[in-house]
Structure 1
Amino acid sequence: MPRPLEYDNLININAFAEKPATPGALEAYLRNAQSYLAAAKLLDPAVAAMPVFSTAYEGFFQLVQAVFEFYEVRTKDSGRNLAIQRVCKDLGMNTAEQALVAKAHERRNDTSYRSPFPPVSKAEAQSLVAILDKYVPVAYKLVNVPYP
């Protein structure tokens, strides 16, 4: 399937790189996303907001990797934020959802690499789980893999 023109533009400016698909990787990324979602739902965000948030974030990034695998591209160094933004558009997210995912990426980096304060809230964790839950089936459809 041809990829959106924006991917080629990002390749041309050296933000992304072309990379042939790895057999089985697409399906593995999708399964990983579902596993992260299942794990996030098992945790109580009132007690463990950060682990719920982190698990949902990693699950969403597996969807990003699946879409990249499908379009046969990879990010260059420090390209995760741009990759997330691009895939949010591919998944058809509305502006509020895109903003939530962008904020989640920023929060993940801040709490992981800079400071644990302020701590991730229960609401932030629940919102990211809801996004992952909503977009797992959408990602399957986008990449033409039957949803289990």
Structure 2
Amino acid sequence: MVRPVEYDNLLANGTFKPAAVSKASIDQFMRSAEEMSTASKATASAAPRFTLAYEGMFNVVMAVLEFRGARPGDSPGHRATAIQRVAADLGLDWTKQSVLTRLHDSRNRVTYRQSVPPVTKADADAMYSVLHEMLTAATALISAQDNSKV
């Protein structure tokens, strides 16, 4: 499998673990991401819009990781590392990567450390924008590989 060397490094140091590549599984992650994107776009309330977009984004992350033959390991920060690696792999510019890191950190504060504060419309819109960009890039990446096998 050809993949960016960073994946091999993360596999070697245990941050990622090897994963069997399954087209059916990758397709399911991508379908889920599409469904969450559609639902997020149709939702006016900021908190559900943000949550749907975040979970859709993470389905894209899982699809790309599996496409690359990897999955998150069990070490602290495994989810953030997976998100950052895939965002870079998909070519998100540094500004979007920075926004994505901030939004992930916000989500972790809410999920693990405190009660849910109000989610701003700006953060919900930003998360949806990141999901849309990642979904588009991941679809192109995975489709290109599928088409090269034909």
Distance 1:25-1:117 versus aligned 2 partners, 3 A rule = closer
Q: Which is richer in helix?
A: 2
1:1-148 alignment runs, 5 A limit? 1-44=1-44, 48-77=45-74, 78=76, 79-116=78-115, 118-144=117-143
1:113 Cα deviation after fit: 1.8
Letter in 2 for 1:68: L
Runs of 4+ in 1 over 2 A off after TM superposition: 116-119
Task: State the superposition RMSD in angstroms.
Answer: 1.5
CA contact (8 A) 2:15 2:73 kept: yes
Question: Where does structure 1 lack aligned partners over 5 or more consecutive residues?
Answer: none
Letter in 2 for 1:10: L
Question: Where does structure 2 lack aligned partners over 5 or more consecutive residues?
Answer: none
Letter in 2 for 1:112: T
d(CA) in 2 for partners of 1:110 and 1:134? 24
* TM-score (normalised: structure 2): 0.89
1:119 Cα deviation after fit: 2.2
* TM-score (normalised: structure 1): 0.90
1:117 Cα deviation after fit: 5.7
3-state secondary structure, aligned to 1:24: helix
CA contact (8 A) 1:111 1:119 kept: no
Per-residue CA deviation, residues 52-108 of structure 1 (Å, 9 max, x unaligned), is: 111100000011001011011111114110000000001101111001111111111
Per-residue CA deviation, residues 27-70 of structure 1 (Å, 9 max, x unaligned), is: 111111110000001110xxx21111111000000110010110
CA contact (8 A) 2:40 2:53 kept: yes
CA contact (8 A) 2:90 2:137 kept: yes
Identity score, percent: 36
Distance 1:34-1:105 versus aligned 2 partners, 3 A rule = same
d(CA) in 2 for partners of 1:93 and 1:13? 25
3-state secondary structure, aligned to 1:144: helix
1:128 Cα deviation after fit: 0.8
d(CA) in 2 for partners of 1:104 and 1:128? 7
d(CA) in 1 for partners of 2:13 and 2:84? 16
